[in-house]
Amino acid sequence: MIEKLTANASNWQKNSINKIAPALLENWLRDYYFTTEIDISGSGVEDFSLAEIRKHVGITQQELDNLVFHDSPSLGCMGLRQAIARNCGSTNPERVMATNGSSEAIFLVMNALLQPGDKVIVLDPSYHSLIHIAESIGCQIERWHLRFEQQFVPNIEELKSLVTPDTRMVIVNFPHNPTGVSVSVETQKEIIDIVASVEAYLVWDAAFAELTHTNPPLPDASLLYDKAISTGTLSKAYGLPGLRVGWCLASTEVLERCVQLRDYTTLALSPLVELIAQRVIQKADNLLNIRLPQIRTNLEIVAEWVDQNKEFVKWVRPQGGVTTFLYFPDIPDIETFCHYLVNSCGVLVVPGTCFYHPNYVRLGFGGSTVKLKEGLSRISTLLKNSNISSIQNSKCD
């Protein structure tokens, strides 16, 4: 199966119908997400139901009934934009666009600002949108590497050596998916200064901004540099991936360009979605105060598990987000291992090949504590019972 994901990735340009590389992570999850008993693959906290959301943020039946399904404004309704701005520490809702997930924001921003041949610097590994969209436009991609041997710490000297006067855009994501690494406020400022020194755009994917384990959340990058664009989402820290709400903060000129593209795609958000999203953001702490303690408990469980299995697995303890990129140096074929985990052990994780890094597995610890413990226990049983190079005859319970 390893051929399936990677061959798929390297052959896409030969197929004239495809204009963009396949999103390997989505291909993997699509196959298994809906049917696997224990899902410890995801990058968000445990999802909420509508009843829970209504209770925690106070949406009444009357408010829902009063809603009229008018078209919404292209940048989102003003109440939602104000709530997002305030939540990001901004006083200016005019610099906010509400989108269908942050995926839409990323897609619009890249397409609005990039042209073939532009030089774009992006973290490696990265969430697929952050590389593939620029690549599909025909940009020249340069990779800023996060290395396990360096605890995934971003090397500022390396960024300095990559940035040149013809750099058009630098794309980062901190806290980072999949490694969980983040940066300090001082390093954030250094990154901004380097990008600003050549007047390039900076895209700061802040999908996990609220999910920090060591330091307080970072300031919103778009407030620190006028060519910075930040993106955020309700899919990760708020347990609402199915609501499909994200946003981007950028200059009004950039947002205007995005609207021109949006007129050909999703046009706007649903007013029903906007109503829920606005209230969630206004009462953000009511949800975060439930999920943050849960993910901190889960992180300790993963830490203990790694310690108990250190002959097989190594890690860098995450500073933010709810994913960790576990290193399995002795597993020769990570996809076979992950397929086996799904099909014979009922446990879903993500093979590192989805991020072009074999030997790693992305584990998500944002969900139910009971399921996390059970999933990890099945993985250790498999590791202990198997000859890792021929996993087929092994047992996971």
Give me the residues that bind ligand PLP (CB under 6 A), please. Answer: 43, 101-103, 127, 173, 177, 205, 207, 233, 235, 241, 246
Residue nearest to ligand PLP (CB): 101
Q: Smallest gap, in angstroms, from Cβ of residue 16 to ligand PLP?
A: 28
Structure tokens at 339: 């397929």
351 versus 386: smaller Cβ distance to ligand PLP:
351
Structure tokens at 60: 């009444």
Q: Smallest gap, in angstroms, from Cβ of residue 132 to ligand PLP?
A: 12
Query: What does the buried/exposed string (b/e) look like for 181-202 if buried means 16 or more CB atoms within 10 Å of the residue's CB?
Result: bbbeeebbebbbebbeeeebbb
User: What sign has the CA pseudo-torsion 14, 20, 23, 27?
Assistant: negative
246 versus 351: smaller Cβ distance to ligand PLP:
246
323 versus 386: smaller Cβ distance to ligand PLP:
323
In the chain the beta strands, taken as DSSP E runs, fall at 38-39, 96-99, 119-124, 140-145, 167-173, 201-205, 228-233, 246-249, 323-327, 347-348, 350-351, 360-364
219 versus 241: smaller Cβ distance to ligand PLP:
241
Structure tokens at 16: 């004239």
Q: Smallest gap, in angstroms, from Cβ of residue 25 to ligand PLP?
A: 8
- CB under 8 Å, gap of 24 or more: what pairs does 328-335 form? 328/359, 328/360, 328/361, 329/359, 330/388, 331/359, 331/388, 332/388, 332/389, 333/2, 333/358, 334/2, 334/358, 334/359, 334/360, 334/361, 335/1, 335/2, 335/4, 335/5
59 versus 350: smaller Cβ distance to ligand PLP:
350
230 versus 394: smaller Cβ distance to ligand PLP:
230
Q: Smallest gap, in angstroms, from Cβ of residue 127 to ligand PLP?
A: 4
Q: Smallest gap, in angstroms, from Cβ of residue 105 to ligand PLP?
A: 8
Instruction: Give the other-Cβ count within 10 Å of 207's Cβ.
Output: 26
28 versus 312: smaller Cβ distance to ligand PLP:
28
Compute the distance between CA of residue 273 and CA of residue 78 in angstroms, rounded to an integer: 14
Helix (H) / strand (E) containing 37: none
User: What sign has the CA pseudo-torsion 33, 39, 42, 47?
Assistant: positive
Q: Smallest gap, in angstroms, from Cβ of residue 7 to ligand PLP?
A: 24
Rounded to a whole number, what is the largest CA-CA distance in the chain?
Answer: 61
Structure tokens at 133: 């969209």
Structure tokens at 271: 């007013």
Q: Smallest gap, in angstroms, from Cβ of residue 68 to ligand PLP?
A: 27
25 versus 372: smaller Cβ distance to ligand PLP:
25
33 versus 329: smaller Cβ distance to ligand PLP:
33
